[in-house]
Amino acid sequence: MQLAAVVLAAGKGTRMKSTTVKVLHQVCGKAMVEHVLTAVQDAGVQKIVLVVGQQGEQVMELLGGMAEYTRQDEQLGTAHALMQARPVLEGFKGDVLVVCGDTPLLRPQTLSELCHRHRTSNNAATVLTAILDDPAGYGRVIRSTGGMVQKIVEQKDAAPDELAVQEINAGVYCFRGVGLFEALAALRTDNAQGEYYLTDIIGYYADRGEPVGAVAVNDPTEIAGVNDRCQLATAEKILRRRVLERVMLSGVTVLDPENTYIDSTVEIGMDTVIYPFTFVEGKSKIGENCIIGPSSRLLNTNLGSHVTVQNSVVMGSSVGDGCNIGPFAYVRPGCVLGREVKVGDFVELKKTFLGDGTKVPHLSYVGDSDVGKSVNIGAGTITCNYDGEKKSVTRIGDGAFIGSNTNLVAPLEVGAGAFTGAGSTITRDVPPGALGVARDKQKNIADWSARKKRP
């Protein structure tokens, strides 16, 4: 039996109070809808149709070829949204899995289990449900005294005895493709919200004696829907815990999982230790035997193995094996550090290459620079890379020694093995092996303090 999926993602998400469309809000570093799509793909569905609405271009740009797209111009309800997939699924004879774009925690196994149960029971419709202690906000699953699913009532339409029902609709369904769009066309908007509810299709089939089933999830946290920012935080917390468990079970020590934030997109090698208050975000990759944190942030950054990062921020950069960063370093995008590089306390780097074994131990700004191997950059060194109009490059050759408190006024080249005198403002190239000094000669005034004290 063929299986297609429709992901509903056209809703405005009014309750988010945001200018960003709801399904693009991120959970653990990935848009909600992307989590949903990945789960649907991993459940083995090949044909995926995504229903988009306003700001649909942004959704399509993010997801590209992961799905086919159809548009719902007016948000008239979830049944109406599914109806928009009709032209794409015309003549499709298989089963249709329907998932909402705002349930980012669904696991692929749950989706394939639902479809499997649907197929083996030969149902017209099978709905995924959960038993919740607090069912508030969700549609309730109403069963007959015999236990057969009769209908789903939305919270806003529910009678008091229906509100007490704890079995809720997860918003995930498997439908028999044949006859699906005809059934949808028969639904009406005579409800509290004046919308075409997809949930009404359950009652529609049940009333006609068609087989309708329900499959309850084992783990009710999986179906958490995100409608507002509080639910977004709940989803984030659940997924964060899941990501941390994956990371820990793969051999990473996380000292305090309650205070460690790792995006679902991150990979971390064995025997790395993560200290509290650390954020590892985006497409970051960490090698083996690293020590990260406390209080560090890595964003879209690649670390080799045996790297330490302490109380520092590293963004959009690549760091070789054995590097030592921080405490209190700020590595901005576009940096490439070789092996065994030291970037110490209160150092800022931007768009800079540092060769193997180079050290920038303290209090420096190095930007737009190309620095060779085994260079020592003394405390307080500043590359003056910006003249108010354009940025210029500083080049420093292998083995050079930059004296403390040097200003390197770019564009500038300091040759291999060259030195600069402490406190110099270097404006001209320093040839290889030379010493560049640019500062006033010192004079000493004898007996100065004694003379100063005289009345």
Q: Are 390 and 396 contacting, i.e. CB atoms less than 8 angstroms apart?
A: no
Q: Does 225 bind Ca ion (CB under 5 A)?
A: yes
- Which of Ca ion, ligand UD1, none sits in contact with 197, Cβ below 5 to 8 A by type? ligand UD1
Q: Is 311 helix (H, G, I), strand (E, B) or coil?
A: coil
Q: Would you tell me how many other CB atoms lie within 10 Å of the CB of residue 291?
A: 18
Query: Would you say 194 or 388 has its CB closer to ligand UD1?
Result: 194
> What is the distance, to the nearest Å, from the Cα of residue 90 to the centroid of all Cα atoms in its chain?
35
Task: Give me the least distance between CB of 77 and ligand UD1, in Å please.
Answer: 5
- Which of Ca ion, ligand UD1, none sits in contact with 154, Cβ below 5 to 8 A by type? ligand UD1
Tabulate helix, strand, coil % of the chain (nearest 5).
25, 30, 45
Q: How far is CA 9 from CA 14, 196, 329, in A?
A: 13, 15, 41
Residues that bind ligand UD1 (CB under 6 A): 8-11, 23, 51, 72, 75-78, 80-81, 100-103, 138-139, 152, 154, 168-171, 197-199, 225, 227
Task: Give me the least distance between CB of 168 and ligand UD1, in Å please.
Answer: 5
Q: Which two tokens stand for residue 413?
A: 């080249």
Catalytic position from the list 25, 118, 306, 362: 362
DSSP 421: -
Nearest to 126 by CA among 96, 106, 94, 101: 96
Query: Would you say 155 or 404 has its CB closer to Ca ion?
Result: 155
x/- letters, 78..117, toward Ca ion (CB under 5 A): ------------------------x---------------
Task: Give me the least distance between CB of 305 and ligand UD1, in Å please.
Answer: 41
- Which of Ca ion, ligand UD1, none sits in contact with 366, Cβ below 5 to 8 A by type? none
Helices 108-121 & 32-42 angle (0-180, nearest 10): 50
Query: Would you say 219 or 245 has its CB closer to ligand UD1?
Result: 219
Query: Would you say 174 or 313 has its CB closer to ligand UD1?
Result: 174
Q: Would you tell me how many other CB atoms lie within 10 Å of the CB of residue 305?
A: 16
**In sequence order, which ranges of 164-280 are alpha helices (DSSP H)?**
180-185, 200-207, 229-249
- Which of ligand UD1, Ca ion, none sits in contact with 9, Cβ below 5 to 8 A by type? ligand UD1
Query: Would you say 40 or 81 has its CB closer to ligand UD1?
Result: 81
362 catalytic residue (yes or no): yes
- Which of ligand UD1, Ca ion, none sits in contact with 81, Cβ below 5 to 8 A by type? ligand UD1
Task: Give me the least distance between CB of 317 and ligand UD1, in Å please.
Answer: 36
- Which of ligand UD1, Ca ion, none sits in contact with 343, Cβ below 5 to 8 A by type? none
Q: Does 13 bind Ca ion (CB under 5 A)?
A: no
Q: Are 75 and 56 contacting, i.e. CB atoms less than 8 angstroms apart?
A: no
- Which of Ca ion, ligand UD1, none sits in contact with 11, Cβ below 5 to 8 A by type? ligand UD1
Task: Give me the least distance between CB of 119 and ligand UD1, in Å please.
Answer: 23
Counting other chains too, the contacts that 398-404 makes at CB distance below 8 Å and 24 or more residues apart are 398/355, 398/372, 398/373, 398/374, 399/372, 399/373, 399/374, 399/375, 400/372, 400/375, 400/376, 401/375, 401/376, 402/375, 402/376, 402/377, 402/378, 403/378, 404/378, 404/379, 404/380
In degrees rounded to 5, what are phi and psi of residue 102?
-110, 25
Task: Give me the least distance between CB of 152 and ligand UD1, in Å please.
Answer: 6
Distance between CA atoms of residues 387 and 268, nearest Å: 40
DSSP 295: S
Q: Does 436 bind Ca ion (CB under 5 A)?
A: no
Please identify the residue of the shown chain whose CB is closest to the bound ligand UD1. Answer: 139
Query: Would you say 181 or 353 has its CB closer to ligand UD1?
Result: 181
Q: Would you tell me how many other CB atoms lie within 10 Å of the CB of residue 201?
A: 27
Query: Would you say 142 or 290 has its CB closer to ligand UD1?
Result: 142
Nearest to 138 by CA among 153, 128, 119, 126: 153
Task: Give me the least distance between CB of 210 and ligand UD1, in Å please.
Answer: 19
Q: Which residues have a catalytic role annotated? A: 362
**Chain residues that interact with Ca ion, rule: CB under 5 A:** 102, 225, 227
